[in-house]
Amino acid sequence: MNITIYPAQKADAGVILDMIIELAEYELSRNQVIATREDIEKTLFGPDTRTEALICAIDGVPVGYAVFFMSYSTWLGKNGIYLEDLYVAKRFRQHGAGKALLAHVAKLAKERGCGRLEWSVLGWNQPAIDFYDSIGANAQSEWIRYRLDEQGIENFLRKHVSA
């Protein structure tokens, strides 16, 4: 098997969306994916994007993707990379594709002088946790991730910010 990693292009938007849906199904959250191919084309490949994507192919067939963006650590005084998604189709796992994708992103972090490479994983996703543990990643259990979705942002602004 020949594994290749390459920067995703706008023409890959449909493949990426299909894999986003597969990932959401695996994470039991398919109903939360509202993105369309057009959304992916605009936000991932548009002129103002701050996000990057990679495709992983085995023998020329796309089998996985990574989506990431630059972050910043005030404590380190350095940029970092936040890995939003790392996904490999189920039938292609255990062939090195996930490790190849992560290694590619790690090389980019090193080349860019980043102080860290970070991502999140669902607490029940033991196969992913085992993989991350096996490569020497450190779980950050002292941090709790918070989120305001679009409605939460609207509610917050309506209640706490005067017009």
Catalytic residues: 132
| Residue linked to tokens 């998604």 | 85
DSSP state of 95: S
DSSP line for 27-90: TT-GGG----HHHHHHHHHSTT--EEEEEEEETTEEEEEEEEEEEEETTTTEEEEEEEEEEE-G
User: Hey, is 108 helix, strand or coil?
Assistant: helix
